[in-house]
Amino acid sequence: MKNQLSPPPALLHAAALAAALLALTGCADMSGIAPQARLRDAAALVDPGAPAAAVAPDWWRAFGDAQLDALVQQALDGNPGLRQAAARIARAEAFTRSARAALGPQVNAGADLTRQRYSENGPYPPGQAGSILNIDTARLSGSWEIDFFGKNRAALESALGTARAARADADAARLLLAANVVHAYLQLARLQEQLQVADRTLAQRGEVLRLVRQRVSAGLDTRLELRQSEGALPEARQQIEALREQAALTRNALGALVGEPKAALTLTPLALAAMQPAAVPAVLPADLLGRRPDVAAARWRVEASAQDVAVARAQFYPNVSLTAFVGLASMGLGNFVEAGSREWGVGPALRLPVFDAGRLRANLAGKSADLDAAVESYNAALLDAVRDAADQLASSASVERQIAEQRQAGEAAEAAYAIARKRYEAGLGNYLQVLSAETQVLAQRRLAVDLAARRLDAQAGVMRALGGGYAAS
């Protein structure tokens, strides 16, 4: 009596076939092919004692300028580059769904109707030879690839990594766009205040010219001083025109960034002194490298490339799948729905590469090289992130010290100019002393405006370098 628990012969045959194919896996050799690059240790690049930074995604709001907030939001809502990034995310997510579908069974339905005349001289039996018959088929078929070696799972993880990298790229694009809008806005505010300095300079030189003319009429100065004073006015007007040109160009750039060319034509930025200084850390936060979207995108590409290598390796192993079908088939439509027209089939299928002229090895070598490139790209992004953040922090700290020194120099220059002018009005000094003092005071006024703008711009640079936000904890 046969054992009722013994496996069916078909399964035994399938198992034997699988064992035979597995024994041949050595024919597809992948030895000697492996990635060479190594990831840099991110923890070793920052101060381990530095505090973690609290996240402030809308970092530009720290400046307290509602007009700037509206411009940044307008840019984020309407910039074509961000819409391109969103399209790339959608494409990557579609690939992810496709890769996930490969893990499940596939079912297809089909129906065929063929009217055919059979050759009288062919291999057909009497009754069929020379006749014209309808061949009717309706079939429901399915297949399921059993992912023994993780090929499809690795392909899914690769697609997920690519999608995550696309989302990180979009975050990086948003961060850069916001930083560019803030930079352009601050430059426009700087130019606006430089124009005020230039207008003040023009008025000041007009007063000096009036004084020189009085002294020339009184015989206290010569026409040389008069010509020097007259020449100072066109110079001041030329500087005003140059600043207006720069302001116009900056407005055009700002309009392009926000996606509305006319948006900045009548814009009047908030005064630099009215903007609130943003908080910046004294040292690099310990979590910096995990917060920068460009570093995150590079890291996800490494993960995706590593999974691509796993897919390439899995292709060296047998492909195992189950197939089945059920349907109806007949010659002549009259017999199509009869019980005798039923057909079905089920069974395993195994495929193993034995010889492919090196295609699989070449593919694995290419994917390994892609992984090496992704690793080195991540290492480069890591080093650039640390350098960028350190540079921005150093610039921010330096500007603060420069402002303190400039404030003292500016006060001294203003006092020297006031003394020189009073001496000149009293006939105790000459015009060259006034001109020299004026040159110094104008330079300090311009520098004060530049440093005030640089201070805010450097703080914005720190925010960008830290991955888009820092809140003092």
- State pLDDT tens for residues 447-457: 999 999 999 99
The reply to whether 37-103+147-317+359-465 and 106-146+318-351 are identical in fold is no
pTM of the complete model: 0.78
- Please give the class, per CATH, of domain 106-146+318-351: mainly beta
**What is the C-alpha to C-alpha distance for residues 222 and 224, in angstroms, rounded to an integer?**
5
Q: Average pLDDT, stretch 99-106?
A: 84
Q: Rounded CA gap, 435 and 24, in Å?
A: 94
Mean pLDDT of 366-375: 92
> Which structure tokens are listed for 301?
């590409």
| Residue 67 tokens, joined | 């007009």
How big is the CA angle at 364 (ends 359 and 368), to the nearest 5 degrees? 150
- What integer pLDDT is reported at residue 472 of this predicted model? 44
Predicted pLDDT at 304: 92
37-103+147-317+359-465 CATH fold? Outer membrane efflux proteins (OEP) (1.20.1600)
Digit-coded pLDDT (tens) for 317-350: 888 888 888 888 887 667 777 777 788 888 888 7
For 5, 148, 212, 280, 352, the CA distances from 19, given in Å and listed in that order, are 22, 14, 108, 64, 12
Residue indicated by tokens 């993960």:
303
With pLDDT > 90 as the criterion, what percentage of the chain qualifies?
23
Q: How many CA atoms lie within 13 A of 463 on its CB side?
A: 32
Give pLDDT, residue 5: 46
CB 197 within 8 A of CB 242: no
* pLDDT tens digits along 225-269: 777 776 778 888 898 999 999 999 999 999 999 888 887 888 888
Separation between Cα atoms, residue 473 and residue 460, nearest integer Å: 18
| Torsion, CA 296, CA 302, CA 303, CA 309, rounded to 10 | 170
CA–CA separation, 366 vs 171, rounded Å?
29
Q: Where are the domains of the chain?
A: 37-103+147-317+359-465, 106-146+318-351
pLDDT category of residue 56 using cuts at 50, 70 and 90 = low
Task: Please write the tens of the pLDDT for every residue from 378-429.
Answer: 999 988 988 898 899 899 999 999 999 999 999 998 898 888 888 877 777 7
